[in-house]
Amino acid sequence: MIVRSLLLFVLGGGLGLTGVVPGGQAQAPEGTAAAWTTLARYKDAQALAADPRGRLYVADAGRDVVEILDAEGKPQDMIGGSGTRAGEFDVPSDVDPTNGQLLLVADTYNGRLQRFSEEGQYLESLAIGRPDRRAGDGWRFENRREGDPVRSDGRPIAVARDDDQSIFILDERGRQLLKWTDLGGAERIVGGGARLQDPVALAIGDRRVPVPPLPNVQALVVHRGRLHIVSADTVRIWDQSNAQMTEHSVDLPKPLVDVARSDGDVYVLTESRLLRKHGW
């Protein structure tokens, strides 16, 4: 398992970010369903993220949309819909709101990354994998009514942008981690010639984080220097300030999919619900 200073990713099948936790683990009290407030319901939610202003973004593969909500769970906007044209999705698997002014969506079965403005307006698409001959390389604007859709045979399942505006993408089909410049130029394939066994999650951090192998990792989130590792019924938080990992059990009817933090609140996502509680 490879851990780079600005990049964290995990493999499925019970493998994780390798290493030994120097400070040990602390077990937090159980988080029962009664402790959480349901904010929204979904058909097949895949990913959750929060921007610096506290807006929430949920990728719902059941409707092929990304829903944007305020901190109270009130819907603000919705982008997408099923299809292959610009602004449409075929299983949106991940979303990165970056600095709140640009939205990136991993459009998995269309084999592309789509970029939207702060207002939810479609900007352009980037083919992942081997693009259709008509699509070409790099970012491409596609008119909704004219021209061929940007599609490829890749399967992007996770996306993250760093402070240098480089974009990292996990390609499930190619079993590789790709790095692109903000202009759409491929800089390199991280990891060299070795392919990943079963890539599932991606996050950007600022240093190495030693974590033991963990089962059933669903998502990785970095918030204020703390790495959140999401499993089916547990969120483990690695705090680099005291070199300690804390485990928070979450007892819900369905497994966890993702987590987000904003203004002292914790948001968790299952495939069917978005829930909130005040901090850990």
pTM of the model: 0.84
Domain coordinates in residue numbering, the chain: 8-278
Determine the CATH number of domain 8-278: 2.120.10.30
Q: What is the DSSP letter of 15?
A: -
Rounded Cα–Cα distance for residues 164 and 41 (Å): 35
Rounded Cα–Cα distance for residues 94 and 113 (Å): 10
What is the pLDDT at residue 142? Answer: 63
By three-state DSSP, how is residue 83 classified?
coil
Other beta carbons within 10 Å of 198: 12
- The answer to whether 112 and 152 are in contact (CB under 8 A) is yes
What is the pLDDT at residue 280? Answer: 83
pLDDT beneath 50: ranges in the chain: 1-7, 10-30, 132-136, 145-147, 192
What is the pLDDT at residue 35? Answer: 87
